Amino acid sequence: MSRQTALDHGIEAALRRDRGVVIASLVILAALSWFYIWLEAAAMDRMMMGLEPMAMQPTAANATTLVLTFLMWTIMMVGMMLPSAAPMTLLYAAIVRTNRIRGTVLPGVWLFTGGYLLVWTAFSLGATALQVLFEEVRVASSMMVVTSKWLSGVILLAAGSYQWSPLKDKCLAQCRSPIQFITGHWRAGRLGALRMGAAYGLYCVGCCWAIMLLLFVSGVMNMLWVALIAGFVLFEKLMPHGRLVGRIAGLILVGAGLYVLIEA
């Protein structure tokens, strides 16, 4: 066996090892997030049935509840969005490995993932603020669901219309093509990994923020709708006809929004 062949086999073995570690890490993190979501949803169901005391409304005077609400949104975004980012993460790991030849790629991959999740953490902060606002002006209940038909209709219209917007197309194109993203946004080093992850996260937020607002309509802790929205995001970003399905979903949401507003 030549020296080059041995080196190639070594690189291939390292790629398989690192790929396995990355996949296992993503699966464990996503699974823990979904377990937390399930626990929160179960607790919410018990409160709705009167088996537990109603949760206090998150107000500015209740810092603990605010922090817990922010934590809930953050973990929920990790569970919903991390699976759809897995192909990009694995591609990044493979490119880093082939460029470096030797040494582990894991710190860079974890930084990339950290940058991605940091952006969704910022989104979670905004969602928490929006939830507090809705409850303060009494258009949403303490069970984290919008009670105003007008607001529900507007959210449905906004989410459906955004599915047809040029900004949605631009962001989704980057999410659907990891190679295109890598080519246009490559940054070397660990800081570069963090910046690339954040850039990819921004595209994903740009792609999905309006769909995430539907959680206010269906109920933030409605496990079925959380899973459906997460599945839709995964399909739209990864499947061959994802964009077409996204546009059809946009028309359905616009129709639903108009119906709700007419009935209001």
Q: Where are the domains of the chain?
A: 3-263
- Report the pLDDT value the prediction gives residue 130, as an integer from 0 to 100: 92
> Residue 62 — very low, low, confident or very high, per pLDDT cuts 50/70/90?
confident
List strand residue ranges (DSSP E) for the chain, in order: none
> Residue 68 — very low, low, confident or very high, per pLDDT cuts 50/70/90?
confident
> First and final CA of the chain: distance in angstroms?
76
Residues 6+ apart with CB under 8 A from 182: 91, 92, 95
In this prediction the pTM is 0.84
Burial call 223-240: b when 16+ CB within 10 Å, e when fewer: beebbebbebbbebbeee
- Report the pLDDT value the prediction gives residue 99, as an integer from 0 to 100: 66
pLDDT (tens digit per residue) in 121-145? 999 999 999 998 998 888 887 777 8
